[in-house]
């Protein structure tokens, strides 16, 4: 699986000399940054508000991975500006608004840093059992229920979340290594026991990350929803727009 991930990232950066990674310092973005760094100049762009959990984590992870970090500061002002620019073919939820603002601001910083392409870690959670609800379903209703939930979420991301993320990243070309067909097909065929093991979610992805050279601290990082850990959700809720 590590080879499939590496190949997916390689395809995503092909022809580019400098790429950005939407970076939190967690497992998914660290895997992408590590694989991309051997093929292009990587700038890790982290969006966070002052004092948010992602600030220190992103700085430590970028240092450990040996990639440059660009801080895309989230403020009441630039979040309000991003909210005014929302352009979606559906009514956005609070989560949609938060993620739109985060990726809109991060993509602007990526462009300003000289990158035309930005890699994002979307689908890693849906494919490898990253959300707590999958572990809850596994415990309550068994592996079949957890697998069905993951499969449905993969399909729903394509129908809604991907539209949001692509439009939010309109200032650069967003690319999603985890959505490569070979990787999706492989991950979808894995038993749930490979993905959620002894209470650890994304277990097989963590093993692949270590095999790819990601430091253990990043490979073992817990799941933190970007809209909360970055602080953007709080800013959206507090916005007067």
Check residue 239 and give its pLDDT. 82
Q: Please provide the DSSP assignment of 176-226 as one string.
A: -GGG-HHHHHHHHTS-HHHHEETTEETHHHHHHHHHTT--HHHHTPPP--H
Q: Could you tell me which residues come within 8 angstroms of residue 158 by beta carbon, excluding any fewer than 6 positions away? A: none
CB-side neighbour CA atoms (13 Å) of 96: 17
What is the structure's pLDDT at 151? 97
pLDDT at position 121, please?
Answer: 97
Integer CA distances (angstroms), 97 to 81, 155, 201, in order: 12, 21, 26
2-226 is a CATH 2.60.40.10 domain: no
CA–CA separation, 85 and 206 (whole Å): 36
Query: Is it the case that residue 53 has pLDDT exceeding 80?
Result: no
As a whole number of angstroms, the distance between CA 240 and CA 131 comes to 31
Is pLDDT above 90 for 104? yes
The percentage of the chain sitting over the pLDDT mark of 70, rounded to a whole number, equals: 99
- What's the rounded mean pLDDT across residues 118-134? 97
CA 169 to chain centre: 13
Lowest-confidence pick of 27-31, 55-59, 180-184: 55-59
What is the C-alpha separation between 36 and 81, in angstroms, rounded? Answer: 31
pLDDT band at 241 (very low <50, low <70, confident <90, very high): low
Average pLDDT taken over every residue of the chain? 95
Domain ranges for the chain, please list them: 2-226
pTM score, whole prediction: 0.95
Tell me the pLDDT tens digit for each residue of 21-46.
Answer: 999 999 999 999 999 998 999 999 99
């Amino acid at each position: 699986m590590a080879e499939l991930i590496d190949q997916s990232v390689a395809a995503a950066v092909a022809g580019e000399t400098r790429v950005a990674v939407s970076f939190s310092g967690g497992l998914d973005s660290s895997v992408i940054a590590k694989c991309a760094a051997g093929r292009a100049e990587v700038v890790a762009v982290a969006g966070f508000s002052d004092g948010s959990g992602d600030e220190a984590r992103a700085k430590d992870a970028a240092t450990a991975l040996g990639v440059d970090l660009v801080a895309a500061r989230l403020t009441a002002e630039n979040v309000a500006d991003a909210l005014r620019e929302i352009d979606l073919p559906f009514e956005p939820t609070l989560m949609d608004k938060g993620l739109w603002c985060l990726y809109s601001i991060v993509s602007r910083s990526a462009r300003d840093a000289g990158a035309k392409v930005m890699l994002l870690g979307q689908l890693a959670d849906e494919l490898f059992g990253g959300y707590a609800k999958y572990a809850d379903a596994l415990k309550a209703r068994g592996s079949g229920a957890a697998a069905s939930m993951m499969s449905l979420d993969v399909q729903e991301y394509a129908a809604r979340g991907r539209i949001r993320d692509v439009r939010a990243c309109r200032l650069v070309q967003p690319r999603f290594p985890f959505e490569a067909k070979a990787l999706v097909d492989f991950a979808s065929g894995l038993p749930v026991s490979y993905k959620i093991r002894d209470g650890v979610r994304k277990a097989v992805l963590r093993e692949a990350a270590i095999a790819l050279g990601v430091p253990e601290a990043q490979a073992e990082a817990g799941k933190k929803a970007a809209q909360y850990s970055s602080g953007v959700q709080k800013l959206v809720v507090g916005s007067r727009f």
